[in-house]
């Protein structure tokens, strides 16, 4: 963790104040060239009594896309039930610093999605200098509904029951494939993944938990940036708004606050949080608490829902402050990590985590210089390799996948039989 370099600018809060003012003073003054009224989400219209529906989302995105020069909405895929997977880009012009929000990969965890939708709207209509300056130097990419079929059915998985957040290595789902293509093509510096969790009172019940990539293949400086994002920005911003925070997966003693056991949050490479690190972005998982713990929230579901969304919004303030203040350090870390793979050296980890040292059997100490795939093998995985951005040389009817490339550690994770989730067993080339 590094010390904070300055105060947290309240970018979203400022933007929201601007939007609220616009909403409050619409028709009475009705000038000839009226500022378009910012659209509201279904969640906002009902004061949190229900979540924003898919038709409401589509209408809001179309309105924002049309009304704001700084926003563009594009289609990045289609689900099995024929719903669009969409990417919203917000920014004044192309910029180096790119932040990617992935909202509600789990369809029954809706608060992140509603926080993302109102954030898109707020940033699209904001007129204050601070937000404009932020958007002139940062490109914000948002996948507002990462699992539309799961959201429609209120299920964790997609319509096939597949947990999308365990598919970021295999890429068997349309949803994970769409996200992989965005990460390959836009090379985000940070990837922020919004979820919700069920509490175990006293031991595991903070308003928000977050977690960085624990996978040991994450570049050290990128790992440090992700921890800084959590500890120096996201948590303080949430705390400032009155929300409690902690580390995802770690139960703590109710009296001392000391960690007592870990129930989730390992280094498994097929989770987006970890694949973010492997692909050289400062990843952060954020989880708001579903359960109402106060009597007032127990009696009033809308109040409970509003706390879930507001806590997510407060944490997003911290993310934007981080992107604003640490752009230089972050870009230096992600650029260096992307170049490092071309030096082709050092071990690759197929197990372990930053808080769980790898066993000797979980370390490929002296990796081969590449993996050969025969024609049938290559045919079976070539689309997935391409979606991962893995560089391949054609080799007769098959292919050769060199280790010397940007996402170097990804190569054995996809092709080495020692990696738990490898796609196919390539033949290691040790004749370097
Ligand atoms: Zn989740």
pLDDT digits (tens, 9 = 90+) for 357-392: 999 999 999 999 999 999 999 999 999 999 999 999
Distance, in Å, from the CA atom of 423 to the CA atom of 420, rounded to the nearest integer, reads 9
- Asked whether the beta carbons of 376 and 390 are under 8 A apart, the reply is no
Residue 146 CA, ligand 1 centroid: distance in Å: 11
Q: What are phi and psi of 95, to 5 degrees?
A: -135, 160
Residue 197 CA, ligand 1 centroid: distance in Å: 7
pLDDT for 30 = 43
pLDDT for 95 = 76
Residue 75 CA, ligand 1 centroid: distance in Å: 23
Closest CA to 415 of 379, 371, 351: 371
Closest CA to 316 of 40, 105, 118, 145: 118
Residue 15 CA, ligand 1 centroid: distance in Å: 28
pLDDT for 271 = 98
What's the Cα-to-Cα distance from 87 to each of 13, 103, 363, rounded to whole Å? 23, 11, 37
Residue 335 CA, ligand 1 centroid: distance in Å: 29
Residue 289 CA, ligand 1 centroid: distance in Å: 11
What residue ranges of the chain have pLDDT lower than 50?
Answer: 1-9, 14-32
For the chain, the 3-state helix, strand and coil shares in percent, each to the nearest 5, are: 40, 20, 40
Q: What are phi and psi of 286, to 5 degrees?
A: -130, 140
Tokens describing residue 106: 């789990």
pLDDT for 33 = 54
Residue 172 CA, ligand 1 centroid: distance in Å: 18
pLDDT for 16 = 46
Residue 238 CA, ligand 1 centroid: distance in Å: 19
**Rg, the chain, Cα only:** 22
- Asked whether the beta carbons of 383 and 377 are under 8 A apart, the reply is no
pLDDT for 35 = 67
pLDDT for 34 = 57
- Asked whether the beta carbons of 209 and 247 are under 8 A apart, the reply is yes
Residue 211 CA, ligand 1 centroid: distance in Å: 12
Distance, in Å, from the CA atom of 97 to the CA atom of 289, rounded to the nearest integer, reads 30
Residue 285 CA, ligand 1 centroid: distance in Å: 9
Percent of the chain with pLDDT over 90: 90
What's the Cα-to-Cα distance from 226 to each of 76, 230, 234, 326, rounded to whole Å? 26, 6, 10, 11
Segments in 107-173 forming alpha helices (H): 111-125, 129-137, 148-153
Residue 138 CA, ligand 1 centroid: distance in Å: 27
Residue 34 CA, ligand 1 centroid: distance in Å: 41
Residue 109 CA, ligand 1 centroid: distance in Å: 6
Residue 105 CA, ligand 1 centroid: distance in Å: 7
- Asked whether the beta carbons of 243 and 207 are under 8 A apart, the reply is yes
What pLDDT digit, counting tens, does each position of 393-429 carry? 999 999 999 999 999 999 999 999 999 999 999 999 9
Closest CA to 41 of 29, 49, 33, 30: 49
Distance, in Å, from the CA atom of 52 to the CA atom of 47, rounded to the nearest integer, reads 11
């Amino acid at each position: 963790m590094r010390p904070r370099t300055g105060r947290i600018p309240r970018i979203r809060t400022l933007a929201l104040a601007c939007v609220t003012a616009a909403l409050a003073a619409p028709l009475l003054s009705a000038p000839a060239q009226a500022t378009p009224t910012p659209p509201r989400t279904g969640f906002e219209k009902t004061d949190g009594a229900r979540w924003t529906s898919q038709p409401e989302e589509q209408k809001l995105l179309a309105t924002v896309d049309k009304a704001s020069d700084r926003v563009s909405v594009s289609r990045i895929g289609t689900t099995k039930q024929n719903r669009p997977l969409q990417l919203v880009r917000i920014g004044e012009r192309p910029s180096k610093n790119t932040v990617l929000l992935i909202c509600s990969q789990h369809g029954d965890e809706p608060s992140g999605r509603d926080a993302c939708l109102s954030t898109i709207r707020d940033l699209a209509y904001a007129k204050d200098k601070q937000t404009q300056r932020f958007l002139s130097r940062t490109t914000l990419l948002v996948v507002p509904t990462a699992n539309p079929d799961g959201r429609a059915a209120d299920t964790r998985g997609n319509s096939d029951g597949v947990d999308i957040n365990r598919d970021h290595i295999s890429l068997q789902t349309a949803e994970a494939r769409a996200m992989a293509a965005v990460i390959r093509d836009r090379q985000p510096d940070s990837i922020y993944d919004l979820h919700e969790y069920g509490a175990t009172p006293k031991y595991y019940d903070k308003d928000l938990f977050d977690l960085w990539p624990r996978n040991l293949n994450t570049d050290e400086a990128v790992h440090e940036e992700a921890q800084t994002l959590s500890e120096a920005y996201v948590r303080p911003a949430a705390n400032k708004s009155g929300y409690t925070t902690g580390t995802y997966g770690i139960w703590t003693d109710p009296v001392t606050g000391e960690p007592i056991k870990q129930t989730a949050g390992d280094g498994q490479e097929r989770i987006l949080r970890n694949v973010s690190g492997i692909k050289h972005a400062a990843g952060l998982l954020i989880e708001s608490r579903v359960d109402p713990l106060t009597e007032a929230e127990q009696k009033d579901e809308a109040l409970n829902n509003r706390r879930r969304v507001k806590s997510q919004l407060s944490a997003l303030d911290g993310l934007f402050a981080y992107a604003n203040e640490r752009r230089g350090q972050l870009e230096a870390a992600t650029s260096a990590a992307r170049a490092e793979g071309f030096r082709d050296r050092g071990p690759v980890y197929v197990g372990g985590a930053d808080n769980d040292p790898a066993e000797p059997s979980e370390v490929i100490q002296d990796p081969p210089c590449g993996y050969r795939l025969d024609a049938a093998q290559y045919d079976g995985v070539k689309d997935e390799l391409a979606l991962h951005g893995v560089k391949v040389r054609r080799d007769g009817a098959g292919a050769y996948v060199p280790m010397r490339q940007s996402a170097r550690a990804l190569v054995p994770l996809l092709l080495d039989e020692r990696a738990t989730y490898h796609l196919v067993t390539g033949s290691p080339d040790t004749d370097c």
